[in-house]
């Protein structure tokens, strides 16, 4: 994603990844609406939405004792086809250019790779690894070599970004530690877990319940969550290991038996891949970089994967850092702007890891009643209670417009506050606001377009009232900023933004709003980390 952000701005990028290619195994599953809006900004949201589950496959979240036995609760969500049609009719918390999409990371990564490789200034190199780096006075020098062995090479670059996972060598070389909570144990999604990527060809023929995207099993013998990968019988199964089970000694037959336990039928299970992993992390790096080196994604924050927040937080890291690096490298902004990356993204990582931990506690802490699968009055009561609980949990974890759209950069040096306070940060409610520091309020226009489709790829000046904003147009010219002016002079737009003018950053964040542009140059230079020029002095080049 970062290679796409930089390459689209003409910045030369060398990407090295020790793996032979994009992931072949099931990984992250939930692309949040804000991430889809960024894919739309890069013009490949439609490609992504066409991938994954069949277009008519429901993206429901369903809870069972076992998948072939009792259904406890279901949170219904639209198919990708329905989401395309529904999005333009929504308002309030879900007023958006895009709705969420349930698609496995293994399908999405090739799209991002293909678009990055199509950019002439981007060099994508799978099968290469970085073995070390050193900081020079005005550059970074990295040593890279083929993953399978061979002659090493040196790369000199202006900046180095470590998106190298939870065991990040870049983070460790900088002496930056994770902070937060780890080692959390719960009855489920806390501690030693086991993943099985599998095909179960008979699943949809033999299981007597409507299909769902996310399938959760809740019984005393074996608990799991199992998202559908392709809607035709491929799944990503994740279970908690019991105390007597060793993660390093699970045989293929035992892995298959685990899957069958949660289905409740002896169906054929074809294992594609399997591996242990650990749940119970809520970690954020103490720093997000130093001087010319930055970290992002799992290198900067590590989640337990409830709510799907890790992958989506990583995408926004790239979006945030990409335009800032490009602005500095082009001489539009001062290097001081880059300090706002940590100032903005680290608080968001703390916020999002806390939300994910709360979801993990809610999903994993309840213990199944021993009689929950019995065909008795006590069993019926246990199932009813569990169903009521998980119906509420499903709404809380998967209807999260507040988390999706409500992340803010209040107090950032790259934001100019107008003194107003944003609405409260609530996970399941989003109140659109143009208070500087957050996502711009969205509108569908009379001609059927999303307002976001009118924004420039770089900066946008929204004119919503009487003010013409000529001061910002001149300031952008002086600072060599690519500024698109968009007229939205309709009462609904003026009421929604609460001002005559709004300045939108390249990452689609409200940088400033107001009714006059007398201080336009001061505002632009502050956001870009450039000291305003003294009166009477020539503008900076």
Counting the structural domains of the chain, the total is: 3
**Residue 64 and residue 136 share a domain:** no
Residue 348 lies in a domain: yes
**Residue 391 and residue 432 share a domain:** no
How high is the pLDDT of residue 401? 97
Place of tokens 């709004």: 502
For 31, phi and psi rounded to 5 degrees?
-95, 110
Query: Which is nearest to 364 in space by CA: 305, 283, 310?
Result: 305
Q: Which domain holds residue 335?
A: 2-29+104-178+282-362
How high is the pLDDT of residue 475? 96
**Residue 429 and residue 397 share a domain:** no
How high is the pLDDT of residue 47? 97
**Residue 351 and residue 316 share a domain:** yes
Residue 538 lies in a domain: no
- Compute the radius of gyration of the chain from its Cα atoms: 25
**Residue 336 and residue 198 share a domain:** no
For 240, phi and psi rounded to 5 degrees?
-85, 135
Place of tokens 């213990």: 367
Residue 515 lies in a domain: yes
**Residue 378 and residue 274 share a domain:** yes
Residue 143 lies in a domain: yes
Residue 172 lies in a domain: yes
**Residue 352 and residue 207 share a domain:** no
Distances 188 to 228, 246, 367, 382, 386 between C-alpha atoms, Å: 20, 16, 9, 18, 15
How high is the pLDDT of residue 88? 93
**Residue 509 and residue 436 share a domain:** yes
Residue 108 lies in a domain: yes
Residue 533 lies in a domain: no
Residue 39 lies in a domain: no
**Residue 386 and residue 357 share a domain:** no
Q: Please tell me the distance from the alpha carbon of residue 102 to that of residue 76, in angstroms, as a whole number.
A: 13
pTM: 0.95
How high is the pLDDT of residue 305? 87
Low-confidence ranges of the chain (pLDDT < 70): 531-541
Yes or no: say if 489 and 475 are a contact pair by the CB < 8 Å rule: no
**Residue 523 and residue 445 share a domain:** yes
Q: Please tell me the distance from the alpha carbon of residue 248 to that of residue 266, in angstroms, as a whole number.
A: 25
For the domain that residue 467 is a member of, what is the CATH number?
3.40.30.120
For the domain that residue 325 is a member of, what is the CATH number?
3.50.50.60
- Judged by DSSP in three states, 299 sits in helix
How high is the pLDDT of residue 307? 85
For the domain that residue 63 is a member of, what is the CATH number?
3.30.9.10
């Amino acid at each position: 994603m970062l290679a796409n952000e930089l390459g689209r701005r003409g910045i030369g990028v060398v990407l090295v990844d020790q793996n032979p290619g994009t992931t072949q195994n099931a990984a992250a599953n939930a692309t949040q609406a804000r991430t889809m809006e960024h894919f739309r900004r890069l013009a490949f949201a439609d490609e992504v939405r066409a991938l994954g589950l069949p277009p008519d496959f429901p993206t429901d979240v369903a809870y069972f004792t076992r998948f072939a036995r009792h259904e406890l609760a279901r949170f219904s969500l639209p198919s990708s086809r329905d989401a395309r049609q529904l999005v333009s009719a929504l308002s309030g918390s879900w007023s958006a250019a895009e709705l969420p999409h349930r698609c496995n990371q293994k399908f999405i990564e090739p799209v991002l790779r293909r678009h990055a490789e199509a950019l002439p200034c981007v060099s994508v190199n799978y099968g290469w690894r970085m073995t070390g780096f050193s900081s020079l006075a005005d550059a970074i020098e990295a040593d890279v070599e083929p993953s399978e062995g061979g002659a090493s090479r040196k790369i000199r670059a202006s900046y180095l970004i470590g998106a190298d996972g939870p065991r990040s060598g870049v983070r460790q070389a900088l002496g930056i530690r994770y902070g937060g909570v780890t080692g959390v144990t719960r009855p489920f999604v806390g501690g030693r877990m086991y993943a099985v990527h599998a095909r179960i060809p008979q699943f949809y023929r033999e299981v007597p319940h409507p299909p769902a995207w996310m399938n959760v099993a809740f019984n005393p013998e074996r608990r799991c969550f199992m998202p559908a990968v392709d809607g035709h019988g491929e799944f990503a199964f994740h279970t908690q290991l019991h105390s007597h089970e060793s993660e390093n000694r699970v045989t293929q037959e035992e892995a298959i038996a685990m899957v069958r336990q949660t289905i409740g039928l002896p169906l054929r299970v074809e294992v594609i891949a399997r591996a242990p992993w650990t749940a119970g992390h809520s970690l954020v790096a103490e720093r997000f970089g130093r001087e010319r080196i930055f970290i992002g994604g799992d290198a900067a924050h590590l989640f337990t994967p409830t709510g799907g927040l890790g992958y989506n937080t990583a995408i926004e890291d790239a979006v945030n850092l990409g335009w800032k690096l490009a602005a500095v490298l082009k001489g539009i902004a001062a290097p001081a702007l880059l300090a706002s990356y940590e100032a903005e993204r680290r608080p968001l990582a703390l916020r999002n890891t806390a939300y994910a931990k709360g979801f993990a506690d809610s999903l994993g802490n309840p213990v199944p009643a021993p009689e929950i699968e019995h065909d008795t009055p006590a069993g019926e009561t246990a199932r009813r209670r569990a169903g009521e609980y998980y119906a509420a949990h499903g709404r809380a974890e998967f209807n999260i417009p507040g988390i999706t759209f409500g992340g803010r950069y209040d107090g950032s040096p790259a934001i100019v506050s107008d003194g107003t306070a944003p609405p409260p940060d609530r996970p399941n409610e989003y109140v659109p606001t143009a208070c500087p520091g957050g996502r711009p309020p969205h509108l569908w226009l009379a001609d059927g377009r999303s307002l976001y489709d009118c924004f420039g790829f770089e900066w946008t000046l929204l004119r919503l009232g009487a003010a013409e904003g000529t001061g910002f147009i001149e300031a952008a010219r002086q600072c060599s900023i690519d500024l698109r002016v968009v007229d939205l002079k309709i009462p609904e737009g003026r009421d929604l933004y609460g001002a005559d003018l709004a300045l939108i950053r390249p990452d689609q964040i409200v940088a400033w709003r107001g009714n006059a542009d007398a201080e336009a140059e001061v505002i632009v230079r502050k956001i870009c980390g450039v000291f305003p020029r003294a009166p009477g002095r020539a503008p900076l080049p």
